[in-house]
Amino acid sequence: MSLPAVVPLPSSLEAGSGEPFRLTDEIALRGEADAAATLTALLTARTGLALSSAASGTGGVELRIERRGPAESYRITVDGAAVVTGADAAGLFYGVQTLAQLVTRDADGWAIPAVRIDDAPRFAYRGVMLDVARHFHPVETVKAYIDRAATLKFNALHLHLSDDQGWRVHLDSRPRLTELASGTSVGGDPGGFYTKDDYRDIVEYAASRHMVVVPEVDLPGHTHAVGLAYPELAEAPVLSDDIRETGGELPIAGAPYEGIAVGFSSLRIHDEATYDFVADVFGELAGMTPGPYLHLGGDEALGTSAEDFALFVERASDIIADLGKTPVAWHEAGSAKGVADTTVGQYWGYVTPTDGMDDKARAFVSNGSQLILSPADAIYLDMKYPSGPALGLSWANGPTSVEDAYSWEPSDVIAGIDDSDILGVEAPMWTETIRTLDDIDLMAFPRIAAAAEAAWSPATGASELRTWESFRARVGTLGPLWTSLGIGFHPSDEISWATE
């Protein structure tokens, strides 16, 4: 008997011997109200059936919380009845997502095959990042991306809120940031920003899908937009041949930047007003963000000397730690000996590290903290496909196939780093070429599912199903579900896609 197809792969998946559980308009969803509402929406979209919820009774689909087992874990049993049990509300939510994936159609209608699943995540942190600085994306697009990520059991949304091209969140302490630095995007496209109510709306919506928001203000580089609002804090752009070769207008102090070059901007490291700014920005964000993490950036500060960079990230990470939050920084910050010892490093180098990137990443672990892995040549979702849309970039050993996105093992990237040193996995979506939700869908799916499996599922080799051949077969079955949910995925020719 063949096993049902689920992505990400569960910890334990066993085909049952009983009859499939038939879905009809008479079936009721019983138990936890929030889980029932989520499952109703998923099954209605997938099947068109008019399902209902019921507070009590027998039959139908039972949705329960039983507080035992690891956080976010769940169990599904389908054998004459369908029961989903979560160790907590998040676990039940993830069990509901899996149950929706199990729905199939045969000659007799819609059914869920007999199965037993026991499942729990490999890593505590499973993130997606959306860059809203290069191109601004409105609240409704962010919410839609939250919904999409939640179906694959991601639990963190990293919002890249600032860059050379624009500043995207209003802060009462620094109102000129949105007054003067939010109006443009790459290529001269319109800008935009989130009001405090908008940001609160995103945070609350994410929480309803069991996701935390991780706001990033990228410092001390990627700060040309800060200089539009507060020129006294910014150094003059540092130009290089690489920047000149990107084409378009060169960055000019005091003028909006609409290109895609990096590494030319810096804050004034030795000016105390800079640290007043950092304290204001992260202090206000801390009050707006209930999740534990604040991301200080720290990447590609090519216009800043190594000594000044170290001084800055040490002071900025201490400011965040003193707010009671966990600092997160891109792996370059590992070069600073005095970075706050709670700082989580985010590795964006290649699956096979180059140029000492691994040494910088390993420094966070040596300091007593952990890493988030985001290898650019595997799970940067904005990289071009080998064949497909014209969108995307290719600098990260690209183009990046679906197989590339899948065929890496988190514990093998940085020598000497094992699962206990890894907080989790995050798949970034940079938006130099990404303007709309349709663009996001096309570039993220199906590669985002490969990142989800790296974050949630057992390690490569721990299961006979944790292979590329198994994944490509399993993810192909999700095409009809994704279509029913309005996800315009890229129909990669690496996958045999189901049509019903």
Catalytic residues: 300
Contacts for 204 with CB less than 8 Å, ≥ 6 apart? none
**Distance set, CA 276 to CA 162, 188, 474 (Å):** 18, 31, 51
Cα Dmax for the chain = 72
| Whether 68 contacts 87, CB under 8 Å | yes
User: Which position has the token pair 């609350």?
Assistant: 204
Residue appearing with tokens 């499973």: 126
State the Cα–Cα distance between residues 350 and 424, nearest whole angstrom.
16
CA distances from 123 to 297, 452, 466 (A): 22, 10, 16
Q: How far apart are CA 91 and CA 70, in angstroms?
A: 9
Q: Where are the alpha helices (DSSP H) in 48-195?
A: 89-102, 139-150, 176-180
Q: In degrees, to the nearest 5, what angle opens at C-alpha 23 toward C-alphas 479 and 91?
A: 70
**Rounded Cα–Cα distance for residues 113 and 91 (Å):** 21
Which amino acid type is present at position 312? F
Strands (E), 51-151: 52-54, 61-65, 74-78, 82-86, 104-106, 109-112, 115-119, 125-131
φ and ψ at 241, to 5 degrees? Answer: -60, -40
Strand partners, 115: 15, 78
Task: Report the SS3 class of residue 30.
Answer: strand
